[in-house]
Structure 1
Amino acid sequence: MLALETGHVRMQQQAADKSQALQCLANILVEDNLVTPEYLTGLQDREKQSPTYLGQGIAIPHGTPDSRQHILQTGVRLAHFPEGVLWDGENKVYLAVVIAAKSDEHLQVLQILTRALSEDISEQVKTSTSAEEIIDLLQASPPSLALHENLIDTQVPADDIEDLLWHSTQLLKKQNLVSCGFLTGLNLNQLIPLGGDIWSITSNNHVLSPAVSIVKAQNPVTYNEQPFGTLICIANNDKTDMPQLHRLMDILFDPEQFQRLNQQQDRRQIADLIGAEVNPDWPSRKVVVANAHGLHARPATNLVKLTKAYDGEILVALDDGSYVSAKSLTKLLSLGCRRGQVLTFIAQPETDAVEGLAKIVQAVKSGLGEEVEPVDEQATLTAQAPDLEFARSIDGNDQSIGIAASAGLAFGPAHVIKPKQFSYERFGDGVEKETQKLKHAVAEVKRHLQDDIDSAEAVQIQQIFQAHLEMLDDPELVKGVNEHLVHDLSAPAAWHAHIEAAADAQEALKDKVLAERAADLRDIGERVLAVLCGVAATEEPDAPYILIMHDVGPSDVARLNKDRVAGILTAVGGASAHSAIVARALAIPAVVGAGEAVLNIETQTTVLINGDNGEYVISPEQALIDNAIQERARQQQLRLIAEKSSQDPTITTDAHQVEVAANIGKIQAVRDAVSAGAEAIGLLRTELVFMAHASAPNEQTQEADYRHVLDTLAGRPLVVRTLDVGGDKPLPYLPVPSEENPFLGLRGIRLTLRRPELLRQQLTALLKASDNRPLRIMFPMVGRLEEWRAAKAILDELLVSYPCENLQVGIMVEVPAAALLAPILAKEVDFFSIGTNDLTQYTMAIDRGHPLLSAEADGLHPSVLMLIDQTVKAAHAHGKWVGVCGELAADALAVPVLVGLGVDELSMSNTSIPLAKAQIRTLNFANCQQLVHKALACDSATAVRELVSAEQNRAANNSQANQE
């Protein structure tokens, strides 16, 4: 993000005219390594098109689109000309803000500048004497408090107070007034009853600009045994216009005005009542901005020229926000409009401006003087429709997408469980009594947890509930709750306050997996709170159903009858959360992270979910259900056949053999892997073995763990990844410094080379446990040749004392550097194991856990396939083998591509092994190689997937035709 900084300001600059000023500005950019000298031509050409004078003694010179090739890095610099420079034949410029922008980042700077121009600062710009004064002047924003019709909504469907809090936050977020985290920061203890069923709440957490939103429930709900119909949510910060806020409070506490507010359902009337800005009821047209860099200075200037041709007033709003004059350049730039956002133009009735709307909209579509790539306008406008602000429509076949968490197809009537509401007194009957209440509740939950452990069918579920028991025994947890109890809080109030604080802290961790464990804290927290408040568990329907919840805690899933729960759909969560792990363990199809709108699905509405790709369909047509039934039956039949032949070797139809191995993280899982047909363990995640111990396992403990795995494998190869922990996967007994970006920090081999005693101990335990059985050791996160050689040197030193004849040593290929160095590394390593999860993440610069971008981090992207191709070719040239141990190895569309690339081993989860082996037996290696040639020529992951899918369909049709 661009920022205005004092170090970027040059004071006391001199220029006789604009030509010299532009040369001065270009020199500054060149001096700071932002551009090459040729960028000056771009600045000059831009001024010829139209002067960049902004107003009040400020200009914003920048290059033309063609001159972006001369930009080395995006940046902004400021030059103060105390004598002034005549800029457009009329106005003098005292401050030039010169921009070198490769993208639309400079819109953020323009928003800052145009906000400053809302008041007359021309004299201050002229007479400024220091960089600090300039920055303070530009970044100052006038006191404000957004009161707007678009921040008011009535007839909101709500079952509880959380629905109203969520909806009020969405109104504020849509106008970019608050950021993510505002909702979490709303403290129910700060709710204030104003009278009637009107309540207010205030928060200063994650507030971008002060504002007030008002929501009225369709039907009042109950909170603390009182009616709750209207919520006034105040987003407050130090920029709040306090007199305006006080005027609002005066209205709310005026009996007559309050009564009118209490009864009023029309949002425009409510806006009038509280003195909020109201959208003019004028003719309107919407248009999607197609300019690659949004509504920056040049297209905005052309828009102003166009709108000024009409006598009538023309206003414009961004994404249904507040309206500004379309005839004001500064107001237009203050919108910060980007490509794909929606502008709404309205025109003063009975003026020529009404007829001009069509021309204005067409001009925006055409790019306002810039060449533009068309956007899917219908899809964008549909997404902006008012009725989609709160809940997704459930009429017809509404197909949507979440995160695939547990494979399989499922459909059935929706059983929607909304978050439980707990009522309790804030203050208790004394510390001793409240402490006893809490002890009894915790003891009862422990008994239930032990029952759950004893009755759980899956080891994973037992382990999770065991972890929950340990949480309840955590002395820090008890200590934290006691600190609240000594302040006379009731047991439920003290318990809830501490659990929420602990869960919030957990969510703030940068490691996605650890952050998702906040759900476990809240899970045990809710179980104890339910006992304290006497809230009974929700009864399960008798017939099969689709469970829909905000987030499904592990205890929720494990207590359910898996023969009745056809599938799970949640509003939040990730594929690595415990709830997803449990769902997979119980073989229940699950889609998570689908958004809060799923909670508005009516109970008994038919829902179809696809746990393979994350899609779900509300009220599907019968044809879709019929197809799902057929597909589910086909998948079940394929699995049965695959499981029967799971122990057979994996050989293609033209006699090419591929080894299929298992990824495991717990030593107990190796037996299941062998039973599933694993021909080896292709990845033992030893960090998870370490995590299974409360303290660092010593050499003897590790040796016993590794010996158990090798014994169970009975001669099958074991590939072990040395300890892969770091900033993103910390161990409680192995603290590492906090890092700004742990994925690019001290992890894997980078950490263990700096803690060589850890690496020596682990390697010694492995060598001693091997007994000359097939052991393969690989080092993770190798990106430099020096790292490989340093790690190998430690191992070679240990081999003198602990020889192991059946040993191979290799590396994980997880960073592009390793793949690019493969021709060199292949001369020294015994094998490569490609971790496609990380390789994809680093190649595409997309955090695989990112809520918006994770779906784009696809291992079948041609760039990733090219790196795999280079790695395989380099390895085979030196007689070395290559495995793939990332999630891609079990992807049915990726398997033919990986086989065609020549990958020798595919390693995956136990449950995926039978199907993957069965699929490979149907493939022809020569055909897969031809497929790879086409895949490497594709331009996207989507194109690769479509190519493979088409080939599979063609093969299936040919097979069916031959059978007939």
Structure 2
Amino acid sequence: MHNNKDLILSAPLSGPVMPLSQVPDPVFASGALGEGIAIDPTNECLYAPCAGVVVHIARTLHAVTLRADNGAEFLLHVGLDTVALAGEGFTVLVEQGERVEEGQALLRLDLDRIAQHATSLISTLVLINGDRFRSIPVAGVSSITVGQPLLHVSAVQSQTALDSSHSSTIEPARGRVRVAHSGGLHARPAALVRQTAQGFVSQSELHFAGQSSSSNSLVGLMGLGIAEQDEVEVVCLGEDSEAALLALIKALSIPSAHEQPRRPSAPVVTLNATVEEGVLQGVCASPGLVSGPLFRLHAVHLPDEPGQQVASVQHHALHTALQQVSADIQCTLHSAEQRGEDEEAAIFSTHLALLEDPGLLDAAKLAIDQGCAATHAWSQALLAQCDVLQALGKPLLAERANDLRDLRQRVLRALLGDARRLDIPIGAIVVAHELTPSDLLMLSQHAVAGLCMAAGGATSHVAILARGKGLPCVVALGSALLDQQSGKTVVLNADQGQLELTPSAQRLHHVIEHHQSQVQQRRTQQQYAHVPAMTLDGVTIEVAANVASRGDAAEAHAAGADGVGLLRTEFLFVDRNTAPDEHEQWTAYQGVLDAMGDKPVVIRTIDVGGDKQLAYLPLPAEANPVLGLRGIRLGQLRPELLDQQLRALLRVSPQQRCRILLPMVSEVDELLNIRQRLEVLSAELGIKHRAQLGVMIEVPSAALLAEQLAEHADFLSIGTNDLSQYTLAMDRDHAGLAARVDALHPALLRLIAMTCVGAARHQRWVGVCGALASDPLATAALIGLGVRELSVSPPLIGEIKARVRELNMAECQRWSQSLLGLNSAQAVRQACQRHSMPHAFVQQQQQQQQQQQQGEPPCTST
């Protein structure tokens, strides 16, 4: 029942009542979703707490959102972690868009089945538009039956204009900050701001250049046109406004760890480009040299605007299409996370957030309410926002508009039933005005040779994905590109940013030979990838793989890896509301060991904290996160989290193949503390022969103490990425310094040498799991300094093994010492190049005949 804007909600379930703060789930308990109350249900049906409209039913049927007649919106969520049931135990009794009366049945529940698979049956009733309403539980209620009064909901003054329309008795928290994100507040930084804001009850806005946007709208935030180093005002209003303000200032002022060094921005469109001597000039987005027939990829065609439409039908069509696209993106996102493709995962995580953006959804729904078809309503809403970003005159934001165009096309395909069946020739060079991320994923499954676009830029999401998949790509080739005839044979020289339209027969022959040589070299390397990598004088070097999942491990094993040199366990802990339990962790770790056959697996304990936050592990804001609570330091702060992981690691079988690696160790006492914990846990579990325990050398103090650490550790593994930035005092994510953070700096080589010498005094082996291990130019230097294991990206296993076989260990040991006296990383690289090329060529010629006769792996110089 309600009176104007006031409303009394009746109980939707029977059972004991508790405040949200006592719910064993941090998202509900923190109030991040809004105010409300919880019930531990004893009946098997969920009822409407008031009259209203069903505005959303979860795809997995475990939750219903209801909008009351006064505008208040409520989320009714049955159980905790019930999304994993995928609808099992739930029967929907209403339809989305249907009007219901108070007490009407919404869901039928199989409590026994739900209880067997969910974390808890505790169900929540949450007011989700707390900017307009407040809820107060009915006093003195500890247990309730369906239909009894439960919550009193009253309207409050709108907070859409936070700085002026709220009651003067509550002052908003305000602060100013310069945006530190490379390229300004484009899609991914905007998504970070949105995610941060959603962690607080307070409402927040960003103000810039006379305009403002809610922190909850990605499109609105990007539409402000905020550039790097622009100063913005942050305004927060609510009970936790001060905390929200500090968190948002941190999110704006500290670049994300995944941001890449800035590349020169390409023009978004170069319509005045011309064909000069049969060559179109653009900008390299992903290198390579290929030839093949042109294939023109056209955008989705939208039919003419139909007449007046039935709004309810069109709302349902749009909702269905959005759910379909959301499910597809979630599948792509999960696949990228499982493969450890962080950049790809970040792109599609942003797409998911854009798909839920209230600004876009409201615009499309309003157009439908005015009689528009769902196709045209969605198209108009997306194109209008694209125009806003394009008009800002900032190349990076204009490129981000391509993400919106991608979502426009994906949803239109779902609405139109466009299956996109394309007859793309194998080895084609695809031409388009501008490709989208989903286009690229589709094309990569058709074995195309390369991509070229009339528009686009080298910093676009498509460029990032093309580089990750090794597809040559040139952007900003101009409108003349679109005039070229499909089927004609061209050369895409992405290294030079050129499309050669009229290559001669000799040029085509050269390109084909070059391509075939590369393919043959990789085949030869892969043919012998499963053979141990042994130097010419008989020293075996273990070439392992860096992986992030069981799937990665299976690929690495198939590629010839001698083991896993680094399993990053963070994939189990991120993007969820609760930590994985011991059994889930054990299952994941055992799966990796099983996938590697009889090979050893190095598993690093969780390395989060600092700039890698977990939703269920709140930590204080840090001025310099990379120097804060990271790695083993966090494990010491939260020992129960580390103990649970150590128990799971001790349960894998066989223990002889498991090697536990500790990140961010800076002193011997940290190692001794964990070793003692392992002994205690091993005794509790009845384990007599436990896994080896190693230390990651990634801070200078660990390298300087290598001999002392090696006395108590079973092995040492050097993480050159972090060791580089800590030694050189340069942030490897800093746009202006990233190019100088070179692990071949002589200071880094001295620390590596010191580590190997210290380890050798206690007969411990040393590996390298950082990016330097994957650089063939560094192989001779690393093994000459004493490294005996190289953990690399799986596709490079064959190449690195081939490089090892070209080398003489004794010669490498003598030569590598000369590098320690050089003055710069550039000097070291030049010395490595001089040592590598003639050395490999001469040895290749000398040994080819012997190897062909004996069937040994040939030298394949890179």
Which category of TM-score, normalised to the shorter sequence, fits these structures? Answer: 0.5 to 0.7
Q: Which amino acid is the alignment partner of residue 600 of structure 2?
A: P
Q: Which amino acid is the alignment partner of residue 589 of structure 1?
A: G
Match among 283, 290, 305 for residue 410 of structure 1: 290
Q: Which amino acid is the alignment partner of residue 744 of structure 1?
A: L
Is 1:716–2:599 an aligned residue pair?
Answer: yes
Name the stretch that deviates more: 926-935 or 553-562.
553-562
After superposition, the Cα gap between the structure-2 partners of 1:451 and 1:756, relative to the gap in structure 1 and judged at 3 Å, is: closer
Q: Give runs of aligned pairs for residues 765-844 of structure 1, distance below 5 A.
A: 765-802=648-685, 803-844=687-728
Deviations 1:579-623 (A, max 9, x none): 856875xxx53357x8x645667355955456xxx7645549878
Q: Is residue 416–residue 599 contact of structure 1 (8 Å, CA) maintained in 2? A: no
In 2, the alpha carbon distance for the partners of 1:704 and 1:844 equals 39
Q: Is residue 715–residue 773 contact of structure 1 (8 Å, CA) maintained in 2? A: no
Match among 748, 754, 762 for residue 870 of structure 1: 754
Is 1:432–2:349 an aligned residue pair?
Answer: no
Q: How many residues align?
A: 577
Is 1:942–2:848 an aligned residue pair?
Answer: no
Q: Is residue 300–residue 412 contact of structure 2 (8 Å, CA) maintained in 1? A: no
Is 1:932–2:816 an aligned residue pair?
Answer: yes
Give the superposition deviation at 1:566: 0.7
After superposition, the Cα gap between the structure-2 partners of 1:688 and 1:583, relative to the gap in structure 1 and judged at 3 Å, is: same
After superposition, the Cα gap between the structure-2 partners of 1:844 and 1:957, relative to the gap in structure 1 and judged at 3 Å, is: same
After superposition, the Cα gap between the structure-2 partners of 1:411 and 1:837, relative to the gap in structure 1 and judged at 3 Å, is: farther
In 2, the alpha carbon distance for the partners of 1:236 and 1:689 equals 34
Give the superposition deviation at 1:780: 1.2
Is 1:590–2:474 an aligned residue pair?
Answer: no
TM-score, normalised by the number of residues in structure 1: 0.50
Give the superposition deviation at 1:527: 0.6
In 2, the alpha carbon distance for the partners of 1:702 and 1:922 equals 40
In 2, the alpha carbon distance for the partners of 1:798 and 1:948 equals 46
Deviations 1:320-370 (A, max 9, x none): xxxxxxxxxxxxxxxxxxxxxxxxxxxxxxxxxxxxxxxxxxxxxxxxxxx
Match of 2:838 in 1: 954
Give the superposition deviation at 1:235: 9.3
TM-score, normalised by the number of residues in structure 2: 0.55
Match of 1:441 in 2: 321
Match of 2:448 in 1: 565
Q: Which amino acid is the alignment partner of residue 581 of structure 2?
A: N
In 1, the alpha carbon distance for the partners of 2:647 and 2:385 equals 39
Q: Which secondary structure state, in structure 2, belongs to the residue aligned with residue 724 of structure 1?
A: coil
Match of 1:640 in 2: 523
Name the stretch that deviates more: 783-792 or 882-891.
783-792
Match of 1:887 in 2: 771
Q: Give runs of aligned pairs for residues 726-765 of structure 1, distance below 5 A.
A: 726-765=609-648
In 1, the alpha carbon distance for the partners of 2:280 and 2:813 equals 39
Give the unaligned 5+ runs of structure 1.
1-177, 188-203, 209-232, 238-382, 504-515
Q: Which amino acid is the alignment partner of residue 644 of structure 1?
A: Q
In 1, the alpha carbon distance for the partners of 2:401 and 2:715 equals 39
Q: Which secondary structure state, in structure 2, belongs to the residue aligned with residue 729 of structure 1?
A: coil
In 2, the alpha carbon distance for the partners of 1:765 and 1:384 equals 47
In 2, the alpha carbon distance for the partners of 1:569 and 1:941 equals 35
Q: Which secondary structure state, in structure 2, belongs to the residue aligned with residue 809 of structure 1?
A: strand
After superposition, the Cα gap between the structure-2 partners of 1:861 and 1:469, relative to the gap in structure 1 and judged at 3 Å, is: closer
In 1, the alpha carbon distance for the partners of 2:670 and 2:480 equals 54
Is 1:689–2:572 an aligned residue pair?
Answer: yes
Q: Give runs of aligned pairs for residues 545-624 of structure 1, distance below 5 A.
A: 545-547=428-430, 553-560=436-443, 562=445, 564-568=447-451, 571=456, 589-590=470-471, 597-598=476-477, 602-603=481-482, 606=490, 608-609=492-493, 616-619=497-500
User: Identity of counterpart residues, as a percentage?
Assistant: 35
After superposition, the Cα gap between the structure-2 partners of 1:796 and 1:939, relative to the gap in structure 1 and judged at 3 Å, is: same
Q: Give runs of aligned pairs for residues 892-911 of structure 1, distance below 5 A.
A: 892-911=776-795
Q: Which secondary structure state, in structure 2, belongs to the residue aligned with residue 776 of structure 1?
A: strand
In 2, the alpha carbon distance for the partners of 1:737 and 1:391 equals 52
Q: Is residue 687–residue 723 contact of structure 1 (8 Å, CA) maintained in 2? A: yes
Is 1:649–2:528 an aligned residue pair?
Answer: no
In 1, the alpha carbon distance for the partners of 2:403 and 2:224 equals 31
In 2, the alpha carbon distance for the partners of 1:691 and 1:502 equals 31
Q: Which amino acid is the alignment partner of residue 316 of structure 2?
A: Q
Q: Which secondary structure state, in structure 1, belongs to the residue aligned with residue 695 of structure 2?
A: strand
Give the superposition deviation at 1:687: 0.9
In 2, the alpha carbon distance for the partners of 1:722 and 1:951 equals 38
Q: Which amino acid is the alignment partner of residue 933 of structure 1?
A: Q
Q: Is residue 683–residue 720 contact of structure 1 (8 Å, CA) maintained in 2? A: yes
Q: Is residue 392–residue 598 contact of structure 1 (8 Å, CA) maintained in 2? A: yes
Give the superposition deviation at 1:925: 1.0
Is 1:859–2:747 an aligned residue pair?
Answer: no
In 1, the alpha carbon distance for the partners of 2:381 and 2:639 equals 39
Match of 2:99 in 1: none
After superposition, the Cα gap between the structure-2 partners of 1:746 and 1:422, relative to the gap in structure 1 and judged at 3 Å, is: farther
Match among 775, 797, 811 for residue 913 of structure 1: 797
Q: Is residue 557–residue 583 contact of structure 1 (8 Å, CA) maintained in 2? A: no
Match of 1:674 in 2: 557
Q: Which secondary structure state, in structure 1, belongs to the residue aligned with residue 534 of structure 2?
A: coil
After superposition, the Cα gap between the structure-2 partners of 1:774 and 1:472, relative to the gap in structure 1 and judged at 3 Å, is: same
Give the superposition deviation at 1:658: 0.7
Q: Is residue 293–residue 429 contact of structure 2 (8 Å, CA) maintained in 1? A: yes
Q: Which secondary structure state, in structure 2, belongs to the residue aligned with residue 894 of structure 1?
A: helix
Q: Is residue 770–residue 804 contact of structure 1 (8 Å, CA) maintained in 2? A: no
In 1, the alpha carbon distance for the partners of 2:580 and 2:548 equals 15
Q: Which amino acid is the alignment partner of residue 915 of structure 1?
A: E
After superposition, the Cα gap between the structure-2 partners of 1:488 and 1:529, relative to the gap in structure 1 and judged at 3 Å, is: same
Give the superposition deviation at 1:440: 4.0
Q: Which secondary structure state, in structure 2, belongs to the residue aligned with residue 858 of structure 1?
A: coil
After superposition, the Cα gap between the structure-2 partners of 1:861 and 1:752, relative to the gap in structure 1 and judged at 3 Å, is: same
Give the superposition deviation at 1:876: 1.5
Give the superposition deviation at 1:847: 4.1
Deviations 1:39-61 (A, max 9, x none): xxxxxxxxxxxxxxxxxxxxxxx
After superposition, the Cα gap between the structure-2 partners of 1:535 and 1:768, relative to the gap in structure 1 and judged at 3 Å, is: closer
After superposition, the Cα gap between the structure-2 partners of 1:181 and 1:788, relative to the gap in structure 1 and judged at 3 Å, is: same
Q: Is residue 364–residue 380 contact of structure 2 (8 Å, CA) maintained in 1? A: no
Deviations 1:187-222 (A, max 9, x none): 9xxxxxxxxxxxxxxxx98769xxxxxxxxxxxxxx
After superposition, the Cα gap between the structure-2 partners of 1:811 and 1:498, relative to the gap in structure 1 and judged at 3 Å, is: farther
Give the unaligned 5+ runs of structure 2.
1-180, 191-205, 211-222, 228-263, 387-398, 850-862
After superposition, the Cα gap between the structure-2 partners of 1:409 and 1:833, relative to the gap in structure 1 and judged at 3 Å, is: farther
Q: Which amino acid is the alignment partner of residue 779 of structure 2?
A: V
Match of 2:586 in 1: 703
After superposition, the Cα gap between the structure-2 partners of 1:460 and 1:764, relative to the gap in structure 1 and judged at 3 Å, is: closer
In 1, the alpha carbon distance for the partners of 2:340 and 2:265 equals 42
Give the superposition deviation at 1:809: 1.1
Q: Give runs of aligned pairs for residues 220-619 of structure 1, distance below 5 A.
A: 409-412=289-292, 432-442=312-322, 445=325, 477=356, 523-524=406-407, 526-529=409-412, 531=414, 542=425, 544-547=427-430, 553-560=436-443, 562=445, 564-568=447-451, 571=456, 589-590=470-471, 597-598=476-477, 602-603=481-482, 606=490, 608-609=492-493, 616-619=497-500
Q: Which amino acid is the alignment partner of residue 815 of structure 1?
A: V
Q: Is residue 461–residue 582 contact of structure 1 (8 Å, CA) maintained in 2? A: no
Q: Indicate the structure whose relative CO is greater, using CA pairs within 8 Å and at least 6 residues apart.
A: 2
Q: Which secondary structure state, in structure 2, belongs to the residue aligned with residue 602 of structure 1?
A: helix
Match of 1:373 in 2: none
Larger Rg: 1
In 2, the alpha carbon distance for the partners of 1:616 and 1:753 equals 51
Q: Is residue 424–residue 492 contact of structure 1 (8 Å, CA) maintained in 2? A: no
Match of 2:160 in 1: none
